[in-house]
Amino acid sequence: MDKKLVLSALKKNAMLIVLVLVYLFFLILTHGGIFEPSSFTELINQNAYVYILGAGMLMCMLTGGNIDLSCGAFVCLISAIGGVFMILQGLGTGVSILLLLLIGVVYGCVLGFLIAYVHIPPWIATLAGYLSFRGLGTFILSSNSKTGSLAPFPADFRNLFYGRIFPTEKGVFNIPCFLFGIIAAAIVVLSVFSARRNRIKKGYEADTVKQAAIKSGISAAAIILVMTRMAMDGGIPTTLLWVAGIILIYSFITSKTTIGRHFYVVGGNIEAARLSGVNTKRIMFIAYLNMAVLTTIATMPVIARSNSAYANLGKNFEMDAISACVVGGVSASGGAGTVLGMVIGATLIGVINLGMSLISLDANYQRVVKGFVLLAAVVFDILSKKRAK
Amino acid sequence: MAKILLEMRNITKTFPGVKALDNVNFQVEEGEIHALVGENGAGKSTLMNVLSGIYPYGTYEGDIVYNGNVCKFNTIKDSEKLGIVIIHQELALVPEMTIGENMYLGNERGHKFAIDWNKTYSEADKYLKMVGLSESSKTLVKDIGTGKQQLVEIAKALAKQAKLLILDEPTSSLNEEDSRALLDLMLSFKKQGMTMIIISHKLNEVSYVADTITVVRDGATIETIDNSGQEPVSEERIIKGMVGREMTNRFPKRENVPIGDKMLEVTDWTVHHPLYPERKVVDGVSMYVRKGEVVGIYGLMGAGRTELAMSIFGQTYGTNISGSMKIDGKPVKIRKGADDAIRHKIAYVTEDRKGNGLVLSQSIKVNTSLAHLDAISSHTVIDGDKEYAVAEEYRDKLKIKTPTVEQLVGNLSGGNQQKVLLAKWMFAEPDIMLLDEPTRGIDVGAKYEIYCIINDLAAAGKCVVMISSELPEVLGMSDRIYIMNEGKFVGEMKAEDATQENIMALILKSGRGE
């Protein structure tokens, strides 16, 4: 019986296991390089945009496998405008961010209106942005700078999105970072057990103490491990807070709120949703408005990290976000998928990228390997689910 | 005694955790029409899937003996080669292709790399004539009605040189007229020596057409009834075998339900087709329903019944809707959209539970709460425990058979899906329930349970509109009956005055334009 439980747990978390295996693989290949403190910080900084765009793409895909092709190019455009605001005009960081968000909202409203109310297929509506935004961004950059790029961004902006909280020297153990990890781990354990107690009190089926302990123990251990490593690399990266905040908010929306529920039922059966009183057009509108706003937010850590706006910024970001969702088990036809799945998918892609650059594999080979690993991961996932049935 | 064409011996088929077929024995004589009846999930379709090779040899136990030879089918092609052709309940035609293309799909005429279209269409026409279809084989399938599409399926089967034709619920989406034509076609095939197996829930059709009736219950063949005598076997006799007990009353009585004031009143209601706005789908209909009353709307398919109900339900169908509506005596104007209708305490339970009723990829729990999420959430945050409790409550109340309310609705049988659909709308706490074909495609036992639910609703003072194309059901369940034809109400009767004959007479009369 116990064996069966373990087996079904393994099958349910197939992609998590793939992630661990791939990590171990690179651990050996990089002689522990991927376990260095700096690798942890790098992983989060390098992939912040995948998590943020992934959350937006998840919401779009839930409504029926719809995607946004324009987000990568929109990152380029926003970065160019942001460069003009902050570097050339010298507007304050707060004002600039607000203005950029406003632009995101305007684009989101236009896109959402076209898709939800004019019924333009999403991939066509966003293809226009995909084609034109990079051109527009490049035009802004080249007409404002001889080199075709704008740099550097103001220090307070960079600190906000690419800094450290309570920074310490590298190699010195950062106590706030460690404490943060302990607190987060404690919250996870407490919430698992209190949910369990609640279910038992109301007479519903609940995990055994052992199951709950294993479940929460693994997550808590992982959190503490990551935070302890990061503590050796100068403290909590601000990027981590932005990403964690967005992940938590969207987990909550998708799993606990009525509007999140509406996204799932619209993707599951749009006619049934409409006849049950769901405003299906509004859901489609919100999906793309939300995507545009998240794209604007995702641009911030990207330009803070690169410290310049240039024409190739944001290239293939849309594909990274879509891959993270698909690898994370989000249904390509809509109606199914979780934020947690997307996070695991994004992390897997991030680990592969980081691992390969640590062993300094040729960039072209990197693409080849990435393509095949992603395919293999999804095949593994589908096969294990089939078996589980 | 005629020759035995097919014998299935000791067939046992197990799915993980369930024994779908348990030692089934089944014999079909050459040249007969053999009906297979049983409740949903009894194992009829599984048996036919074993026969046609959908479940390949080796995945079941037992033998299939066809024409004296033991057969080991690995794919559906193997059984088709021997002339065993199955026509599934859900039509498998490609709407955007012609009839001819559809008939030879996967079985193309001509060379492997060059389809011979002349041959395709001329052969297709030949078979179409055999089934009595006058359409050209170059007509697109989407341009013909369901009745004709069913005939195309049969022509397609004939084109495969069928010797043993299996029809799974062939009349489930046909109106009475088309159904009768189809059954007569089967009888004429029989005269030409074809052997047929028909699976059907409609017992009057079974006793009309079949020579032998085999009853399947809980994965086993219970009995075989001979129906070749002069007097057809009574429906009650068959039902007794299907449910394992005597069903003395197919329609539960409503006792002492007081009928109150008019709850819903619609006057001069006209609805136009959304794509062809000049066409009136519902034409000047006036009706009312009182509290505690069950009102039947009877009409053939395409009479405008669904369109009437959906246009009342927040204009979810149609354009240019005119007419006035009163709820509880007060004139109301419902804005476009189901949400406003739900706010006015109207519910529309669709006829097409899979198409626009349920989200099959979601759990019973999610489907139950969908139309009334506000009741289980505060400030848009869903209370998961409350939701679970509500789903459990309705599972209990409506006797939905499932291990847990977390079960996906797509995995349930038709009858249980229908109950989930009803649960969703009962949880929305409506005063007015528009039920569209509430018992379509579900078995006798589940039908009875649905009728009981309808009676409970009426007893609770709700007003119920029941749209149905099954006359016995309308006669058995309604207090009052409206008869609809071609978008108009052509008659209104009290239940005690209504008979099958005078309702059909009204429809025929209006059809002739008198």
Measured CA to CA, the distance from residue B429 to residue B410 in angstroms comes to 25
Q: Confirm whether pTM is higher than 0.80.
A: yes
Amino acid making up residue A268: G
| Residue of B350, B362, B406 for testing the chain A interface, max A β-carbons within 10 Å | B362
CB pairs < 8 Å spanning A and B: 80
Chain B neighbors of A271, CB-CB under 8 A? 355-356
Band of pLDDT at residue A11, cut at 50, 70 and 90: confident
ipTM rounded to 2 decimals: 0.86
pLDDT score of B382 more than 70: yes
Q: Would you call A264 and B362 a contact, using CB atoms and an 8 Å cutoff?
A: yes
pLDDT score of A380 more than 90: no
Chain A neighbors of B388, CB-CB under 8 A? 204
Domain A2-174+232-388 in this protein, CATH class? mainly alpha
**Is the pLDDT higher at A295 or at B410?**
A295
Backbone angles phi, psi at A310, to 5 degrees: -145, 165
| Residues A340-378: tens digit of each pLDDT | 999 999 999 999 989 999 999 898 988 898 888 878 877
Closest approach of B496 to chain A, Cα-based (Å): 35
Strand bridging mode B33-37 / B212-217: parallel
B342 touching chain A per CB within 8 A: yes
Could you tell me the strand order of the sheet in which B432-436 lies? B346-349, B432-436, B463-468, B294-298, B480-485, B488-494
Closest approach of A248 to chain B, Cα-based (Å): 15
Helix (H, G, I), strand (E, B) or coil at B30: coil
Q: What is the sign of the dihedral through the CA atoms of B429, B435, B441 and B443?
A: positive
Residues 6+ apart with CB under 8 A from A208: none
Neighbours of B308 (CB within 10 A): 30
- Nearest CB partner across the interface for B361, out of A204, A271, A336: A336
pLDDT score of B248 more than 70: no
| Residues B268-278: tens digit of each pLDDT | 999 998 888 88
Chain B neighbors of A279, CB-CB under 8 A? 337, 339
| Residues B497-506: tens digit of each pLDDT | 888 888 878 8
Chain A neighbors of B371, CB-CB under 8 A? 276-277
pLDDT score of A59 more than 70: yes
pLDDT score of A389 more than 50: no
Q: Go through the domains of chain B in sequence order and give each one's CATH number.
A: 4-243 (3.40.50.300), 262-345+431-511 (3.40.50.300), 362-429 (no CATH)
CB of A205 closer than 8 Å to CB of A199: yes
C-alpha distance from residue B225 to each of A112, A259, B167, B239, B279 (Å) = 62, 55, 19, 12, 49
- pLDDT at residue number A304: 96
| Residues A296-310: tens digit of each pLDDT | 999 999 999 999 999
Measured CA to CA, the distance from residue B151 to residue B134 in angstroms comes to 11
Which chain A residue lies closest to B373 (C-alpha atoms)?
A: A258
| Residues B143-194: tens digit of each pLDDT | 888 788 888 988 998 888 889 999 988 887 777 778 888 899 999 999 988 9
pLDDT, mean of residues B52-66: 89
pLDDT score of B245 more than 70: no
Structure tokens given for A127: 């293809």
C-alpha distance from residue B450 to each of A304, B237, B365, B423 (Å) = 63, 22, 20, 11
Chain B neighbors of A204, CB-CB under 8 A? 385, 388
Q: What is the sign of the dihedral through the CA atoms of A50, A55, A56 and A61?
A: positive
Q: Would you call B360 and A268 a contact, using CB atoms and an 8 Å cutoff?
A: yes
Q: Would you call B373 and A261 a contact, using CB atoms and an 8 Å cutoff?
A: yes
- pLDDT at residue number A286: 97
Chain B neighbors of A264, CB-CB under 8 A? 359, 362, 366
Q: Which stretches of chain A sit within 8 Å of chain B by CB?
A: 198-199, 202, 204-205, 256-259, 261, 264-265, 268-269, 271-279, 335-336
**Length of chain A measured in residues:** 389
**Residues 255 through 274 of chain B touching chain A, CB cutoff 8 Å:** none
CB of A221 closer than 8 Å to CB of A160: no
pLDDT, mean of residues A16-40: 91
Closest approach of A143 to chain B, Cα-based (Å): 48
| Residues B281-335: tens digit of each pLDDT | 999 999 999 999 999 999 877 788 999 999 999 998 888 899 999 999 999 999 9
Closest approach of B59 to chain A, Cα-based (Å): 17
Q: Spell out a b/e string for B442-475, using b for 16 or more CB atoms within 10 Å of the CB, else e.
A: bbbbbbbbbbebbbbbbeeebbbbbbbbbbebbb
| Residues B418-477: tens digit of each pLDDT | 999 999 999 999 999 999 999 887 777 788 889 999 999 999 999 999 999 888 889 899
Neighbours of B181 (CB within 10 A): 16
For chain A, the structural domain boundaries read: 2-174+232-388
- Nearest CB partner across the interface for B380, out of A199, A258, A275: A258
pLDDT score of B512 more than 50: yes
| Residues B254-293: tens digit of each pLDDT | 888 888 999 999 999 999 988 888 888 999 999 999 999 9
Identify which of A317, A299, A296, A229 has the alpha carbon closest to the alpha carbon of residue A39. Answer: A229
Q: Would you call A256 and B382 a contact, using CB atoms and an 8 Å cutoff?
A: yes
